[in-house]
A and B are shown apart, each in its own frame.
Chain A
């Protein structure tokens, strides 16, 4: 089933981490397996933030293979070595769980080449790279993940999130949402639905040099949009193309450093409720997500079939 939520404050920052946590917690019944956040935080914009993992969370109902934690240290050393060889400078590093890290780095090279080099290390996956994007995903509900990573303290302009019920692939972090729009800085995607032409699209995109890290059909949306943008399309143009390029049922959100967008398939088979005012847009799979941050009476609506909308901060 899965639940998705997103919000964007226009013209100001807010406590987006706490707000998104409330929205996703209200949607827990739609997806208890994992929760993910893509928060666009008030960073100074000087360095890239790289979130990556060197292993899986093997607790909390995970379908991943159990590993000794010592291998995480080995992989981290390999990442550090690789960063050094690429000429990257690590300004700050945080180890948030035994398997996941947040690095602030200075790099001066193509992000695709950089990512390929880092991910050439076995079992290392970059969750995101960006100057404001803080992408975190892990097993557990919204509150558990937020507390584990300290997300309730994050201030910023916008964010998207996902409460996942695993149907198309395993209960693990690599299949959890959001997906980074590799290799673009600060692009993330969450999806509710099923895509039925996943393998056809995946083969075609891989032949064009795009990378997939999971077998989760939702990852296709991020890669599909990234490929369109790589060829010069705007985010909105790519999203409009996705309505015919992707087959299946879907409502998805995509966020960049300064915008938030939504798209709904032409059958309108997946739910979405939207609230829009001059300074705030909040949306989610169910109204209770919006009500968790706006308890007062407001006017909400369901976007129609085949609708694409993009808002700027």
Chain B
């Protein structure tokens, strides 16, 4: 079992308001070895060549057939796949666990590119609810708008929407970055635990409600703060990171990041109170 301890050492991340507590304990110390990541192998992952390019028209395919075709193409080594006529179909491009250039010429429905680990995805359209849910790594760029629960529970990677997003963006986020060029709806960052959310436009009510950790940056107006979400001062590290990240995200070139509002967890909720370690352990 892991213990939650307050750390005295100030890392760069901690100076930005993140990771003020670290997990220590048997699971973390004994069984997790970052070096093992080098040897990690996913069952079903493919070795692809980015220079091998093909197109796939999914107009007359259902989502299962389309995903099977994508898998089949990857198994043949295609590293750049252009999907034609997605026409708002649900669950396209999910579960891709290897490097891949995936381009959708159109819009996706619900749960597009969910549970991915590694691909670079571009959607030349809009995405529906829960785009890139549970994404582990990679980069996803949405050229138009996105629905609610954008980036729900993502653990890593960069998820970018150049337009506006719906409610509960970054709900339960556990890592990575979500960057939005337009506005965001209510409950943005609801219960987020790690990672960063950047909204260049306005956000709705209850921003950062019940967030555990992580950081939210907002460029426009804020409808209201949620429970335990508090404003924090912007540091040089924040500004450097935002400047760099917006460049990577290909949005907000002229945006003045120094005027953004930074929001972090106030850590006054029940899980941050003065419980004894054993009680806290039980509660977690």
Contacts and interface: CB of A to CB of B under 8 A. Distances in A.
Contact of A288 (B88, B147, B163, B168): B88
A302 interface: yes
Given A286-B109, A287-B126, A301-B164, A267 B186 contact: yes
Interface string A263-293: 0001111010100000000000011101100
A288 B186 contact: no
A266 B128 contact: no
A273 B87 contact: no
A287 B145 contact: no
Given A299-B144, A306-B186, 19 more contacts: A266-B186, A267-B187, A268-B148, A268-B167, A271-B148, A273-B126, A273-B147, A287-B88, A287-B128, A288-B90, A291-B87, A297-B125, A301-B144, A301-B145, A301-B163, A302-B145, A304-B186, A305-B186, A305-B204
Contacts of B87: 288, 291, 295
Contacts of B167: 267-269, 304-305
Nearest to B107: A287
A291 B85 CA distance: 10
A293 to B, nearest CB: 12
B252 interface: no
A297 B145 CA distance: 13
B204 A286 contact: no
B109 A299 contact: no
A271 B166 CA distance: 9
B106 interface: yes
Contacts of B124: 297
Contacts of A273: 126, 128, 147
Contacts of A306: 186
Given A304-B204, A305-B205, A288 B89 contact: yes
Interface residues of A, number: 20
Contacts of B125: 297
A287 B90 CA distance: 9
A100 B205 CA distance: 46
Nearest to B168: A268
Nearest to A271: B129
Interface of B: 85, 87-90, 105-107, 109-110, 124-126, 128-129, 144-148, 163-168, 183, 185-187, 204-205
B88 A299 contact: no
A273 B87 CA distance: 13
A84 interface: no
Nearest to B86: A291
B106 A302 contact: no
B88 A291 contact: yes
B148 A286 contact: no
A30 to B, nearest CB: 11
Given A288-B109, A291-B88, A305-B204, A268 B186 contact: yes
B145 A300 contact: yes
Contacts of B166: 268, 302, 304
A300 B107 contact: yes
A306 B224 CA distance: 14
A267 B107 CA distance: 25
Contacts of B107: 287, 291, 297, 300
A266 B205 contact: yes
Among B163, B183, B186, the one with the most A-chain Cβ atoms within 10 Å of its Cβ is B186
A10 B268 CA distance: 52
